[in-house]
Structure 1
């Protein structure tokens, strides 16, 4: 029985329905996640798929709209659970921890959408729950992020034109700085799949604090 799992978070059609999708950090997200999935399956690791839903919202995350599904090119195989969450992290509103406990999992690799939101939050919670976490940045996606004072009705053009907007590069850097050495080991797809040796980035134990 493997002690490791790959958790794929919110790589779903909902995001592709948003105009900001064209400005995402990782056009090859399906390919990158697919490489991690293939490697996990070869190793015999558990693959867990997570989707985000906002029932009754009328938006792209409302299951009634038909977009709460994996992006074409990704699909579970028999024995790989698909969980649906309604919180930012993948633990609070699902039975993910139970699934992992039953499978004897102690090490989790995470990828998905968005880098600094659901994927980072799941990583932090997973570390606090005692799992050894690996965060695969180049198998995540983020978007230009507007300042909190910009109206929610702002268009993509207005978001991009605002000098306060954080670029995808800035969002990725902030997430890696926050996680590495505290909550997770930051790796690349190539490192995780064995295509290149690990770069020796700082690894933290599950109990790291401070």
Structure 2
């Protein structure tokens, strides 16, 4: 029995309802996650699905609106838990740690949306809890991120026009630098699935 798990974080319809989705850093996220899921299932690893909800908020993360569900093309199979969190990380408001402990799992691979928010935060918390963390960088999604002084009501056009905005690629790179060697091993989908040997990146 494998002692590893893949945790798929917030790859949900909610994000596709936002105008900024057109500028997602990894538009092929469903295929990338599906490759990781297939590889995990073949190895006998546990796959855990996590969704983010903000009940009563009236936003795209409010379950009442119907968007707190996996993006079409991703389907759990029997024995794969689906957890709903209300915090940034996947541990604090779910029983994820209990599930992992009961299964004897110590190695976690994470992917999902957003790179520098819920996926990175889960990675940091998981590391602090003693798990060996693998962050699959090209199976995460982020978006152009505005400067803190830009009003929260700013449109996508205003965000993109602001020279202080960080691109999705810049956000991903910053996350990789922050995690690698401290909180996780940063790998690609090809490396995790065996399509490319580790260390063979061009």
Cα deviation, 1:176-201, whole Å, max 9, x if unaligned, reads: 00000000000000000000101179
Runs of 4+ in 1 over 6 A off after TM superposition: none
CA shift for structure 1 position 169: 1.2
What are the within-5 Å matches in structure 2 for residues 15-34 of structure 1?
15-34=15-34
CA shift for structure 1 position 6: 0.1
CA distance in 2, matches of 1:50, 1:72: 15
Query: Is 1:45 aligned with 2:45?
Result: yes
What are the within-5 Å matches in structure 2 for residues 20-169 of structure 1?
20-169=20-169
Report the TM-score, using the length of structure 2 for normalisation.
0.98
Residue 6 of structure 2 is matched in structure 1 by 6
Structure 2 unaligned spans of 5+: none
Cα deviation, 1:69-105, whole Å, max 9, x if unaligned, reads: 0000001000000000000000000000000000110
CA distance in 2, matches of 1:132, 1:186: 12
Q: 1:200 to 1:132 in 2, by over 3 A?
A: farther
CA distance in 2, matches of 1:25, 1:72: 19
RMSD over equivalenced CA pairs, Å: 0.9
CA distance in 2, matches of 1:39, 1:148: 39
CA distance in 1, matches of 2:121, 2:127: 10
Cα deviation, 1:120-173, whole Å, max 9, x if unaligned, reads: 000000000000000000000000000111111100000000011001111011
CA distance in 2, matches of 1:65, 1:151: 25
Secondary structure of 1:175's partner? helix
Secondary structure of 1:15's partner? helix
Question: How many residues are aligned here?
Answer: 201
Q: 1:185 to 1:49 in 2, by over 3 A?
A: same
CA distance in 2, matches of 1:130, 1:155: 41
Report the TM-score, using the length of structure 1 for normalisation.
0.95
